[in-house]
Amino acid sequence: MYLNDMLNISSWVNILLILLLFLPIFLVLFETSFRIIFLVVAEFSGKSSQPPLGNEIDENISIIFLMLAHNEERVLSQTLGLVKAQVDVGNARLVVVADNCTDRTIEVSHRAGVMVSVRSDGIPGKAHALSWFVEHNIGIISEYDLIVIIDADTQLSNDFCTAIRNVFQSQPICVAQSSVEPINEQGMVVTTLAAFSEILSQRVDDYARSVLGWSVPLRGTGMVFKRDVFLQVCSGLRTQVDDIELTIRLTCLGIPVHFVSDAIVYDPKSQNILGLAKQRGRWLKGQRQIFSNMKYDLTKILLSGISGCSLIQSLLIKPKTLLIVIKIMLIILLLFIASFPYWEFLEIILVVSVLVDLAYYCMGLRYVADHRIYASALLMAPLYLILWLAGWFFSFISGQHWLRSRD
């Protein structure tokens, strides 16, 4: 009888362990599967994700650039003139959307000769400002074929408009995401790791999605919409993470996002560690809003197939560094649970998953100019996890709704 009781207890312990380990192991397999797919496609596909540049670009395709800004006086004085010179030519225009600004953002914009749309009420935030602009400026929007959303510190490649027009005139697409090139001038470890993560997610993940014909996630800046789609999806945004919410809305409507690697926006990385942590806190808070307000939409995307699951993997399974730590902890845990059913098989899966991660980051070093700086930063990856943990703390503190990291 005593032996039977012990066997029953052991069985229940094993069942409990299986239940506790199911979710982290599922996330590991989910993430690793896509990393393998993306690595293989990026490594062996010779297909270009871009159409060849046509001999004649249709300059009649009109473009309006919306620069969303909240108290960006210092940044605008440095970048506004350069951006205006690039876009205020031909059939294009720049508009600054000043959201509840209390500094000289409006004055600086007017001095640069840029049209300013002023929002002075409501909750500050990029998504709210974007929705407000849609509701109050339909007349302006209706004059343009394409709407490009950029940040206040954005710089554009010289041929940005040409690349965008080329893609939209050569392919039947409605939404595009340009390439976001991080600028990391001071090379601090955490900003280097943040920049490396952005580079890999585009050069490997988004490139592979494009080759496979899958939609890519929007990235907050450099987002391009055809007019009708812009009016449809940018009205009534409800969360702090406009890029994630817009990606989900578009996916549920069956509208894919096309990756345009030839059109580049340059995104300076902040050296403000506290600002980076607060920004990630607002990301995490926004993700909770997504899970709370868009549960049905997320379920619909997950059930839509592998391409939909790929977007969920990109948008909401963050930070990736934490997943690696979870894998290592699971490996150590399984070493001490000899009685766990099939523990050796799970151990092998987790080890393979960690090796895939190593391959992903090592192969990614080919896409950066200075391999040593990024390789050295990878050795300090736990610092990046600490940044996210600090962000998790800030995500529970009410504060301003803008997602920039310069504050």
The CB density around residue 31, as the number of other CB atoms within 10 Å, is 20
Cα gap 196→49, rounded to integer Å = 21
The per-residue pLDDT for 404 is 74
pTM of the model: 0.89
- What's the order of all strands across the beta sheet hosting 92-99? 115-119, 92-99, 63-69, 146-151, 223-226, 175-183, 257-268, 155-156
Q: Which two tokens stand for residue 214?
A: 């899958």
Q: Per-residue confidence of the chain (407 residues) as pLDDT tens digits? A: 444 444 444 555 555 555 556 666 777 778 888 999 999 998 887 666 555 655 577 778 999 999 999 999 989 988 888 888 888 777 889 999 999 999 999 999 999 989 999 999 888 899 999 999 999 999 999 999 999 999 999 889 988 999 999 999 988 999 999 999 998 766 788 888 888 999 999 999 999 999 999 999 999 999 999 999 999 999 999 898 999 999 999 999 999 999 999 999 999 887 778 888 888 888 889 889 999 999 999 999 989 989 998 998 888 887 777 778 778 887 887 777 655 556 777 788 888 988 999 999 998 898 888 888 888 888 888 888 888 888 888 888 876 677 776 66
Cα gap 54→299, rounded to integer Å = 40
Residues 334-357: tens digit of each pLDDT: 777 655 556 777 788 888 988 999
Residues 283-302: tens digit of each pLDDT: 889 889 999 999 999 999 98
Query: What residue type is 190 in one-letter code?
Result: V
Q: Which two tokens stand for residue 10?
A: 């052991």
Length of the chain: 407
Q: Work out whether the CA dihedral 78, 79, 85, 91 comes out positive or negative.
A: negative
Q: How far is CA 341 from CA 3, 8, 87, 326, 348, in A?
A: 20, 15, 62, 20, 13
* Helix or strand run (H / E) with residue 14: helix 2-44
Nearest Cα residue to 31 out of 260, 318, 370: 318
Strands 155-156 and 92-99: unpaired
The per-residue pLDDT for 5 is 43
Percent helix, percent strand, percent coil in the chain, to nearest 5: 60, 15, 30
Cα gap 221→226, rounded to integer Å = 16
Cis peptide before 319 (omega within 30 of 0): yes
Cα gap 279→395, rounded to integer Å = 9
Query: For residues 288, 294, 299 and 302, what is the CA-based torsion angle, rounded to 10 degrees?
Result: -70
Structural domains of the chain in order of their starting residue, each with its CATH number: 1-407 (3.90.550.10)
Q: How far is CA 56 from CA 59, 163, 233, 262, 273, in A?
A: 9, 12, 31, 17, 46
